[in-house]
Structure 1
Amino acid sequence: MQIHPPQIRRAGTEVEWRVTVEGLPGPPALWFRVDSRWTSLLTDLSDPALAALLIPAMAAGTDTRVAGPLSERLWFQLSGCCQPLLQRLLRGLHPIRIDARQLRDSGPRPAGVATGFTGGIDSWCVIADHHLAAAPQGFKLTHLVFNHVGSHGAGGERLFRERAQRLAPAAERIGLPLVLVASNLADFYDERLSYLHTHALRHAAVALLLQGGIGRYLSASTYPHDRAALTPASGLTCDEPLLLPLLGSGRLELFSAGGAYTRVQKILRLADIPETWQTLDVCIHADRAGNCSQCEKCLRTLATIEIAGLAQRYAAVFDLARYRRRGRLRYFAIVRHSRNDFCTDIAALARQRRFAWPWRARLYGWLRWPLTRLEDAVEALGIRRPLWLRALRALRRRQPKCIFIR
């Protein structure tokens, strides 16, 4: 694969950063677009392209030549210790050689500090710690970033713009500029390289794109740092504290932020921030903006705030009636028996608050217990979809139904 030197050009009200790519399945060029007012944030280095295309190149087993200028530190890390780490985490990757002829010392670190903003629990927690609360000047947020690198699924560009419109007023109210970054990066990743298992490098590519004005990028941690793991089952989520420091350059430092909290602790922390009552968005559905109040992440959040007695605060962003009607009892049953970290934390909160589980949830929990244990075992083994998903769905169809659960 060859990555040609980057070109930066204006396209209407936007500015496009583009590199031509040869020898790799996918589009003929990788591009990122931002509003023209953020032109000063864009880098003239090839760093974003190498970070974005490293995993697809390793999946194809093709050596890479970078024709444009590249940060010496990033080249050293991605040529060396980063590749064995990715091979351990993602099956089917091969070591590759990276040839770069224009290595540069990236120069001094810019003063900007950014984090990704999705309206979710993790990103709001970073804002709480590094903007709403007192933070050292070098770690206090100056920008929020919302990007399109694959997290919007089938909704694509339409859903990206729709979600951005929902986030922009919240960013304005808390006093931080929101940088929107569109890209065709996801078109280089096939079904084997899902967003769930490759998002760390996708978002790092966006951070490196903005290193013209951003010197620190705080990536919102999904898991507490004491649960960091280096296994295929963890994907690129549990291992972020290990991986992210390897993706920086001389101008940009990347950190995993928020790892001092469990998910339950984050939710309880955010419940005291009124802005989240109107803007919290945790849903995993990729066909619309807002919360469905039925998916796993919605149910996880709703169960936590109900047990804590805070559900009414979030009535504007969740359909509480749908939750109580269609998912509440089933999810309570899962929480009572699952060994999943999120569920055990919620169960611990219930014990602490002396929460009275509904008797129907208790009954259904015992009926569902064997399936819950199997799901935990499959997750621990790191068996990938769709095989394990089809197996679990088949078991659910054979599972005794509980007439008390709707």
Structure 2
Amino acid sequence: MQVGRPEIRSTDGTTTWNVGVRGLANAPDRLWFEVPEEHAGMLTDAVDPAVVGLLVPAMRAGGPMEVEGAVTDELVHGITHGYQHILEAVIPGTRQIPVEAAESVAATPRASGIGTGFSGGIDSFAVIAEHLVQPVPDALRLTHLSFFNVGAMTGGDRGRRRFRRMHAQLAPAAERLGLPFIPVDSNLDDFFPIGAFVQTHGPRNLGTAFLLQGALGGFIFASTAPYAQVGVRRSHSSARSDAISMPLLETGRFRPVFHGSQYTRAEKTEIVAGVPESTESLHVCTSMTADGRNCSRCSKCLRTQLTLELAGHLDAYGRVFDLDAYRSARDAFIDEVAASRDLHLVELRNFARQVGFALPPSAAGFVRHGLRRTARKTGAVLRGRHRPADTDVAPA
């Protein structure tokens, strides 16, 4: 793969950062990122965003990544001596490759800004709680919120329309929080196979964060995985390894920071309940209603509402959830929580026990008890210690 020098151009109120890309089959010949023109000063003049964002496609293609423009020397070192090792272990079909930069440069001093992604969910609101609302060192205090279009909303025009709609929906919350909210559109998803976002969202978002290092010296990534689940192994999601891999790419100019792995989802939800803005704009749904609210019936909505109820905060969220819809589905969902092996629901079950909420008996528990009872009877029959009733064995 060959990556060209960045070109930055402003037209019609937007500024585009783009580089030429050659050597990838079935991929565009340019990678571009776009921001509103008022944020043009945030864009880097280094090729760092493309090197990180396109690293997985290059590792899948094999062969070196040849970069014409200036790349931060520490970034190349981190990619070569650690980051690729983790990507190779986590993502099938990748292998380590050399990154050959024609112009390797030392990092310039870090800008003072600190950014984070803002989707309105529990993870991102937890970052806001502990890096804006609560006391925090100045070096970690949020100054900017961002919203990236790098594949989460699917690619193409349909995904772009949803990206713009979501940004418009979240913008009033950012304004009330008093922080600028930077939307970054991109065609980065076009360089990845369809459906590859969950497994590669870490490198995609990290590369896009590097784009803004002209104004941001650090970026706080909201973790979705608790430390007990963090590790380097084959996984359907990069979330399991991002907390280990991303800090390897820290440079003198840019520092990725992870937040949230120290908490369970229930603990994060309690923290978020201390942010007044969350009662107006919390968004956890995988879809949305016509008026922009959570559907209140999907698994993520139900999980969040039950957690808020157990923590004593549910009534405050009537503006973002349809609480009547939740209550109509509540009992069936509680039965599911009692029996499920899903890690999120197991965690919620444990939280219910911690707060003294009595769950119904687990259906799975009844099944296991019945299997053990049957096994004991079978063993007794085989050892000649039990005379079976007519219903135990079929007549000869």
TM range (shorter): 0.7 to 0.9
Match of 1:68 in 2: 69
Cα distance, 1:8 vs. partner? 0.3
Match of 2:385 in 1: none
Judged with a 3 Å threshold, the aligned counterparts in structure 2 of structure 1 residues 287 and 69 are, in CA distance, closer, same or farther, namely farther
Deviations 1:364-389 (A, max 9, x none): 6668989xxxxxxxxxxxxxxxxxxx
Judged with a 3 Å threshold, the aligned counterparts in structure 2 of structure 1 residues 367 and 315 are, in CA distance, closer, same or farther, namely farther
2:113, 2:217 within 8 Å by CA — same for their partners in 1?
yes
Distance (Å, rounded) in 2 between the aligned partners of 1:258 and 1:48 = 25
Match of 1:279 in 2: 281
**Any residues of structure 2 matched to 1:150-161 within 5 Å, and which?**
150-153=151-154, 155-161=158-164
Cα distance, 1:97 vs. partner? 1.8
2:5, 2:47 within 8 Å by CA — same for their partners in 1?
yes
1:337, 1:369 within 8 Å by CA — same for their partners in 2?
no
Match of 1:304 in 2: 307
**1:90 is the counterpart of 2:96:** no
**Any residues of structure 2 matched to 1:228-267 within 5 Å, and which?**
228-233=230-235, 235-267=237-269
Match of 1:185 in 2: 188
Query: What amino acid sits opposite 1:200 in the alignment?
Result: G
Match of 1:106 in 2: 107
SS of 2:280's partner is: helix
1:7, 1:19 within 8 Å by CA — same for their partners in 2?
yes
Aligned residues: 365
Distance (Å, rounded) in 2 between the aligned partners of 1:151 and 1:329 = 31
1:51, 1:247 within 8 Å by CA — same for their partners in 2?
no
Match of 1:2 in 2: 2
Judged with a 3 Å threshold, the aligned counterparts in structure 2 of structure 1 residues 290 and 22 are, in CA distance, closer, same or farther, namely farther
1:10, 1:16 within 8 Å by CA — same for their partners in 2?
yes
- TM-score (ref. length: structure 2): 0.87
Distance (Å, rounded) in 2 between the aligned partners of 1:297 and 1:265 = 16
SS of 2:305's partner is: helix
Match of 2:357 in 1: 355
Distance (Å, rounded) in 1 between the aligned partners of 2:225 and 2:110 = 28
Query: What amino acid sits opposite 1:296 in the alignment?
Result: S
Distance (Å, rounded) in 1 between the aligned partners of 2:230 and 2:267 = 17
Cα distance, 1:37 vs. partner? 1.2
User: Which deviates the most, 161-170 or 238-247?
Assistant: 238-247
**Any residues of structure 2 matched to 1:33-52 within 5 Å, and which?**
33-52=34-53
Structure of greater Rg: 2
Query: What amino acid sits opposite 1:183 in the alignment?
Result: S
Distance (Å, rounded) in 2 between the aligned partners of 1:87 and 1:363 = 40
Cα distance, 1:331 vs. partner? 3.0
Of the three residues 316, 322, 325, the one matched with 2:325 is: 322
Of the three residues 174, 195, 198, the one matched with 1:196 is: 198
Structure 1 stretches of 5 or more lacking a match?
Answer: 371-406
Distance (Å, rounded) in 1 between the aligned partners of 2:289 and 2:44 = 33
Cα distance, 1:96 vs. partner? 1.5
Structure 2 stretches of 5 or more lacking a match?
Answer: 370-396
Distance (Å, rounded) in 1 between the aligned partners of 2:128 and 2:114 = 11
SS of 2:32's partner is: strand
Distance (Å, rounded) in 2 between the aligned partners of 1:130 and 1:52 = 26
1:222, 1:259 within 8 Å by CA — same for their partners in 2?
yes
Deviations 1:126-183 (A, max 9, x none): 1111111111111111101111111113640111111111111111111111111111
**Any residues of structure 2 matched to 1:373-384 within 5 Å, and which?**
none
- TM-score (ref. length: structure 1): 0.85
2:21, 2:29 within 8 Å by CA — same for their partners in 1?
yes
Query: What amino acid sits opposite 2:99 in the alignment?
Result: I
SS of 1:299's partner is: helix
Cα distance, 1:312 vs. partner? 1.6
User: Which deviates the most, 259-268 or 120-129?
Assistant: 259-268
Judged with a 3 Å threshold, the aligned counterparts in structure 2 of structure 1 residues 272 and 250 are, in CA distance, closer, same or farther, namely closer
1:145, 1:180 within 8 Å by CA — same for their partners in 2?
yes
Cα distance, 1:191 vs. partner? 2.7
**1:122 is the counterpart of 2:129:** no
Distance (Å, rounded) in 1 between the aligned partners of 2:251 and 2:14 = 26
**Any residues of structure 2 matched to 1:170-181 within 5 Å, and which?**
170-181=173-184
Match of 2:348 in 1: 346
Match of 2:375 in 1: none
Distance (Å, rounded) in 2 between the aligned partners of 1:176 and 1:81 = 34
Match of 2:165 in 1: 162
